[in-house]
Amino acid sequence: MRIVLLTQDDPFYLAENIDYLIKKLPPYAKVVATVVFDVSPFGKRESFTDKLKKTYQIFGPGFFVRYGTKFVMSKLNKNKNVKHVLETHGVPLIEIEGNINKAENREKISAYQPDLLVSIAGNQIFKRPLLDLAPKGCLNLHTALLPKYRGLMPSFWVLKNNEKYTGVSVFFVDEGIDSGPILVQRKVEIGNRSQEELIKYTKQLGMDAIIECVEKIESGNYTLIENDESQMTYFSFPTREDVQAFLAAGKRFY
């Protein structure tokens, strides 16, 4: 099974998890290429300076300093670099310009003859011609229990809303946002985890769920879980007021 990954150059959590995924995939599955998008933590493309300003304004100085330091340290540690991890495994990068759905970008991906596309923090909306490139479809990892908590930063919202449980969902991508049928879903008790602890835990759990999906797709023996539109909730990026409510509820970022 030939897999093309669609991911982003996240400096905090993704490199070690992609390394884990590639190492743990079954022998019949191989990541043959990867598209690495620019990081877009706020759900849209912004300049690096705008990202810094927005992080400081929304999350405050403590958060800004901690993650600013982690960002700098990640740049000094090759093992925290997604592209370096891919290079270590001999996985070529597919260089694209602009939107992934453009015909010339689809042609570059199609040249690797993917059987399956796998999106991990893929931050563009995929259109039908792209989804149809791979005969086995396109999977996406979402770190929440769909259909609840569609959208951005579910780890923040489940904590702010005092949820007892969260989880991961791996689903077949359609042209909506986190709306396709679910192949594997795993539930997690949140307990007293901070957001950082929850992200770390669910990211690795998500890699295991992707591997389970690959095994199910290879066998052809699976039952899809409905991603019920009538039960959905959707969240965008938090505001400063949301962060204040998060902290007032005794929740922790780290």
Element (H, E) at 234: strand 234-235
Work out the pLDDT band at 163, boundaries 50, 70, 90: very high
The CATH number that applies at residue 196 is 3.40.50.170
Work out the pLDDT band at 78, boundaries 50, 70, 90: confident
Total tally of structural domains belonging to the chain: 1
Per-residue confidence (pLDDT) for residue 41, from 0 to 100: 52
- Does 82 fall in a domain? yes
Mean pLDDT along residues 176-195 = 97
Closest CA to 226 of 167, 190, 172: 172
- Does 56 fall in a domain? yes
Whether 139 and 119 have beta carbons less than 8 Å apart is answered as yes
% of the chain residues with pLDDT over 90:
88
- Does 182 fall in a domain? yes
Residue 140 has pLDDT above 70, yes or no: yes
pTM metric for this prediction: 0.93
Distance of alpha carbon 16 from alpha carbon 19, whole angstroms: 5
- Does 254 fall in a domain? no
Whether 116 and 139 have beta carbons less than 8 Å apart is answered as yes
The angle formed by the CA atoms of residues 12, 17 and 21, to the nearest 5 degrees, is: 160
Domain that holds residue 215: 2-248
- Does 14 fall in a domain? yes
Per-residue confidence (pLDDT) for residue 45, from 0 to 100: 60
**How many C-beta atoms surround the C-beta of residue 104 within 10 A?**
9
Mean pLDDT along residues 169-181 = 96
- Does 253 fall in a domain? no
